A and B are shown apart, each in its own frame.
Chain A
Amino acid sequence: MYLTLKNISKNYGTLEVLKKVSLELQENKTISILGKSGCGKSTFLKIIAGLETAASGEIILNNTNISNIKPSVRNIVYLFQEALLFPHLNVFENIAFGLRIRNVKKNIVAEKVKTLLQQLALEREALKMPDQLSGGQKQRVAFGRALIINPPLLLLDEPFSSLDVETRATMQQLYKSIAEMYNITALFVTHDLKESLIMGNQIAYMENGSLTVYNNKKEFINDMKTGVEGEIKFWNSL
């Protein structure tokens, strides 16, 4: 298995945020994790990225135990709800950041950034500053900034939740095509039922720090607690 998480636990004082969470994910697949706010999904992602430490458990990526490796060496990119573009850098430099700090040659940086700008439909925005961009554009730049370093694993923490419905749909499609193009392996966290179904090859549900991973979509739909049944009933009753 490409990514294996074994019995990850975390508590803040007496509050148990994650209770022995385990998960397996194949290469080039995206798993969506559905959960209400405060269920522990962000903490879960931060632990995988190395931004928080787990009380116990193991993270094995590509046959290497990375549980105790610094975030900057893990190469796993965490995408926040907010795009968090560096405010002092323009679009081009934001995307180039990961390569610049690795001292990659200038012409290679330029080439790679240009390709990404093209694929993300951001060519005309290259010299703009973050505050001149729309919400969707910002998220695309954040994607580009992550993709440029070829991360072995991408963690997406509700990246589209602050966008309007239309932009959101476009971004979901864009993500899917990019994910395929770049062979991305990712965990996609969301509180939106529909989005979880669209984005994941695999689906899981998190509640009160416990994670249920479903074998297929049918199982997910049939589980009462995911709320799919209720949703179907609502639309049928119209």
Chain B
Amino acid sequence: MFKGRTITAYLLIAGFVLPILLLVMLTFSANWVYPNFLPERFTLSNWNEFLFKNARLKQSFLNSLIIATAVSLFATAAGFITSRWIAYHKRRNFLLILSYFPYAISPVIFAVCLKFYFLKAGIAGNLAGVVLAQLIITFPYGIIFFTSFWNRKVKNYVEVASTLGSNDVITLKKIIFPIAKQFLTTCFFQCFIISWFEYGLTTVIGYGKVETLTINIFQFIKESNTYYASLSSCLLVVPPVLLLWFNKKFIFQQTR
């Protein structure tokens, strides 16, 4: 009994770790021909190419970073403020369902429906457009995330502070922010990851002109460039894994 449980646990974990190991191995591989289990030789050339030569991959990495940072900063701030309003609103449930809708719907389908307006506004195919489009899905996520923060207890803290003579600004600075700190950082990282992982919507609104890491991966896969695809996959997976090491909650987002 005890043994079976231990074995099950380790098998499960092995299943979760294996993908990372294999992807990392592929990035160091050359000539991985069938039916060899391991590549003919290991090499640093793929990494070498990325770090010192391939400007395109570096640019994509930078784009992903810029987009994700901008998106998560704004989504967290806007979500925080808006969710407060919704949480104490009379029609709370209706407004929440309204917020769930853009978040639950397939981003790529949402994107094709909105593409027309992005083209008209002249922001399809540039970073600003992609940031705005990603906000349309991460902002509702922020709202939903923070509704559990704005509970009765926080409302009471604010009331206590105001009867003690605290005005809105001081309450925000001295009470709400300190209490919400953990929530804010968690939401920031979760939105960061949603944006960092986003592919469908970004291709549609990016219009082939904005390249992110996910878009690179897809192109490498189409070109059957396994080594580069795994290299960019690793670049994509490493930041969340690092975050996981700091705090498990940071990377817990409800992905598709």
Contact = CB atoms under 8 A, between A and B. Distances in A.
The answer to whether any beta carbons of A and B sit under 8 Å apart in the complex is: yes
A123 B252 CA distance: 42
Given A87-B179, A88-B178, A101 B159 contact: no
Given A86-B175, A87-B179, A88-B179, A97 B156 contact: no
A149 B157 CA distance: 17
Nearest to A70: B162
Interface in A128-172: 145-146, 149
A107 B163 CA distance: 24
Interface in A64-96: 70-78, 80, 82, 84, 86-88
Given A82-B156, A86-B157, A72 B163 contact: yes
A51 interface: yes
B156 A101 contact: no
Contacts of A84: 153, 156-157, 160
Interface residues of B, number: 17
Q: Which of A51, A74, A100 has the most CB of B within 10 A?
A: A51
Contacts of B159: 46, 49, 51, 71, 78
A13 B210 CA distance: 53
A19 B178 CA distance: 40
Given A88-B178, A101-B170, A77 B156 contact: no
Interface string B162-181: 11111100100011001100
B179 to A, nearest CB: 6
A98 B160 contact: no
A101 B164 contact: yes
Interface in B175-198: 175, 178-179
Contact of B166 (A51, A72, A87, A88): A72
Nearest to A71: B162
Interface string A95-134: 0011011100000000000000000000000000000000
Nearest to A97: B164
Contacts of A49: 159, 163
A146 B164 contact: yes
A98 B164 contact: yes
B33 to A, nearest CB: 60
17 contacts: A49-B159, A49-B163, A50-B162, A72-B162, A72-B166, A77-B164, A82-B156, A84-B156, A86-B175, A86-B179, A97-B166, A97-B174, A98-B165, A101-B164, A101-B166, A101-B170, A149-B165
